[in-house]
Amino acid sequence: MCAVGEILFVTVLSAKEDMGKATADGKKPKAVKKMKDPNAPKRAMSAFFIWMNENRDRIKKPGMSVGDVAKAAGIEWAAMTDKSMEWSLIIFAKHKFQQWEKRAEEDKKRYEREIAAYKNKQ
């Protein structure tokens, strides 16, 4: 077993021992988060996140927090599929949307290939 595997095993074992026990003040202990393997492939991005990476700099204004940028991006993303847009804008938005969906599908296939290779390697 590698060092990372030993650490994970010990962490899970100690967490199982602590399960169900209450602390002195009667509260349950906080759950232990399972360690992520650093060699595992990254998950596939959705079409929204691909679009967000391309448009973040355009949306972001000075003084905006990360949450504000995400909220503005979500509103803009939702507006691209809104039925009240003019037909020319709808056609353009659907074309761009299909582009991001296609890239998300390609990224999903990449992830599936990498995760299969990763599992075969273990």
9-61 pLDDT per residue, tens: 445 555 555 555 656 666 777 888 888 888 888 889 888 888 889 889 999 99
Q: What's the confidence (pLDDT) of residue 117?
A: 93
What is the pTM (predicted TM-score) of this model? 0.50
Q: What's the confidence (pLDDT) of residue 85?
A: 56
Mean pLDDT in residue range 91-109: 81
User: Is the CB of residue 34 less than 8 Å from the CB of residue 98?
Assistant: no
User: Is the CB of residue 11 less than 8 Å from the CB of residue 35?
Assistant: yes
